[in-house]
Amino acid sequence: MTLLEGGVCAPQGFKAAGVVAQIKNLRSTKKDCALIASDTVATCAGTFTTNKLKAPPASWTEGVCIRGTMQALFINSGNANACTGSRGMEDAKATAEKIAKGFGASITEVGVLSTGVIGVPLPMDRIANGVDACIASLASDGHLAAAEAIMTTDTIPKEYALEVALSSGTIRMGAIAKGSGMIAPNMATMISVITTDAAIDASLLHTTLKEVVNQTYNCICIDNDMSTSDAVVVMANGVSGVCIEEHTPDYETFKAALLEISTHMAHALVRDGEGATKFIEINVTGAQNDTDAKAIARSIAHSQLCKTAFFGQDPNWGRIACAAGYADADFDAGYLSVSIEGLEVVHEGLPTVYDEADAAALMQLDDIHVDVCVGTDAGKATFWTCDLSHDYVTINADYRT
């Protein structure tokens, strides 16, 4: 796999745009409408939030993904179009319709997603302007503008692209994502759009995406709050001429590339987590099964006490052990071992003899790996999180006003 520039426009036959349409309010000067479009109809797959207050645009786009083909995906930031009742779905559909007309596509092949404030109807006049401006400026170098337009409290745009050599030719895969708040696992945890010029059946794409999302976007947390708008959407337009069939080495390589790109984007979300100063990887091994391992890893990753200890650069393994201990998983505390950056601080339930200064020095790192072993079985899982800082509180005490 080779790294490429170009984000979602790196695969052949994709264009993107990002424009300012003042969706949040008339003082807003940031890009807030994005369009990602394929020259030809693409197969698609998506995973969406499981929040009962799922926003109407997420429901609309889930419908498009169930049908399995998509040509364009419009995303606005600044307004989530969530808790907006029947009007919310009418607005989502009207947005898709306007794009379909302007772009010359079928309305059932246009996805729409929204992210931002909950409970305020979309300003449809400004959305219409945003749609027009996006269609007018669609270009094969529009990827960064699109990545910028979907940002909310993100501090940096997130994009990534790969080239992958397969037996029958070369394909490309690109992605953009936004995140940083209302990030919790066990669903598609933010908005991410992945494009590829491979040809792949929609249902195989869906199976593959679900498996990959479960190991990547569903293994991160920033603040444990599951948003109403989360979505990961993949569009595969087949322009490369390379066809991905199940049970082939090329399929495995395709899946590995999707895993690589999703891992990269999931990590990028955590690194840019609201107020984050550190990137923490929690590896759990020795559990009775992978589900138990994930529960333990998630419990540590969610713990406010662990996250503030990481912020304070305090090698407080007691909090890590404690969070493992209340996870919904079965293990014997007498087997618990904990290492911070390779320094074993707990061995089989008891603190080791180590130099506190060594442990404190390791906690100064920006990236910290915590290994937790809970037994001798094969269950394992990895989870990624960030620390909980003063800036998280500041950002979220002030977000709306």
> First-to-last CA distance in the chain?
44
CB of 318 to its own copies, least distance (A): 3
225 belongs to the binding site for its own copies (CB under 8 A): yes
Least spacing, CB of residue 53 vs its own copies, in Å: 3
Measured in whole angstroms, the distance separating CA 45 from the mean position of its chain's CA atoms is 15
How far is the C-alpha of 273 from the C-alpha of 294, rounded, in Å?
21
Number of residues interacting with its own copies: please give it, by CB under 8 A.
Answer: 61
Instruction: Give dist(CA 339, CA 86) in Å, integer.
Output: 52
Answer for which of 20, 53, 100, 133 binds its own copies (CB under 8 A) is 53
Stretch of 26-34, 181-189, 235-243, 264-272 lying at the interface with its own copies (CB under 8 A): 181-189
Q: In the complex, what is the shortest distance from the CB of residue 16 to its own copies, in angstroms, rounded to a whole number?
A: 29
Neighbours of 44 (CB within 10 A): 29
Interface stretch with its own copies, choices 28-36, 160-168, 278-286, 346-354 (CB under 8 A): 346-354
Q: What is the phi/psi pair of residue 66, to 5°?
A: -65, -40
Q: Which of residues 315-344 bind its own copies (CB under 8 A)?
A: 316-319, 321-326, 331, 333, 336
Which are the catalytic amino acids? Answer: 189
Helices 304-311 and 290-302: crossing angle in degrees, nearest 10, is 60
Q: Could you tell me how far CA 16 lies from the centroid of its own chain?
A: 19
Contact between 194 and its own copies per CB under 8 A: no
Residue closer to its own copies, measured from CB, 155 or 394 = 394
CB environment 253-283: b (16+ within 10 A), e (fewer):
bbbebbbbbbbbbbbbbbbbbbbbbbbbbbb
Nearest to its own copies of 165, 393 (CB atom): 393
Residues 115-154 that bind its own copies (CB under 8 A): 117-120
Paired with 193 in beta bridges are: 176, 233
Site for its own copies contains 364 (CB under 8 A)? no
Closer residue to its own copies, CB minimum distance, 98 or 302: 302
Token code pair at residue 163 = 């080239």
Alpha-carbon distance values, 200 to 23, 203, 242 (Å):
35, 9, 9
Q: Which of 25, 67, 291, 390 binds its own copies (CB under 8 A)?
A: 390
- Verify binding: residue 27, its own copies, rule CB under 8 A: no
Q: Which stretch binds its own copies (CB under 8 A): 68-76, 211-219, 237-245, 345-353?
A: 345-353
- For the bound state, the minimum distance from the C-beta of residue 358 to its own copies, rounded and expressed in Å, comes to 15
* H/E element, 40: strand 33-48
CA triple 327-177-106, angle to 5 deg: 120
| Separation CA 345–CA 139 (nearest Å) | 53
Q: Under the criterion CB under 8 A, does residue 261 sit at the interface with its own copies?
A: no
Radius of gyration of the chain (CA): 22
Half-sphere exposure of 224 (CA within 13 A, CB side): 10
Q: What are the E-state strand segments in 79-190? A: 110-115, 158-166, 169-178
Nearer to its own copies, 225 or 252 (CB): 225
Q: Is residue 304 near its own copies by the rule CB under 8 A?
A: yes
Which one among 69, 195, 237, 303 touches its own copies, defined by CB under 8 A?
A: 303
Cα torsion at 267, 268, 270, 271 (round to 10°)?
110
* Site map (CB under 8 A) of its own copies, residues 70-109, x = contact: ----------x-xxxx------------------------
In the list 46, 130, 142, 181, the residue contacting its own copies (rule: CB under 8 A) is 181
Q: How many CA atoms lie within 13 A of 187 on its CB side?
A: 21
Q: CA-CA distance, 169 to 199, in Å (whole number)?
A: 12
User: Closest approach of Cβ 172 to its own copies, in Å?
Assistant: 35
Please identify, using beta-carbon distances, which residue of 6 and 181 lies nearer to its own copies: 181
**In the set 235, 346, 359, 368, which binds its own copies (CB under 8 A)?**
346
In the complex, the residues that contact its own copies under the rule CB under 8 A are 50-54, 80, 82-85, 117-120, 181-182, 184, 223-228, 302-305, 308-309, 311-312, 314, 316-319, 321-326, 331, 333, 336, 346, 349-351, 388-390, 392-394, 396-401
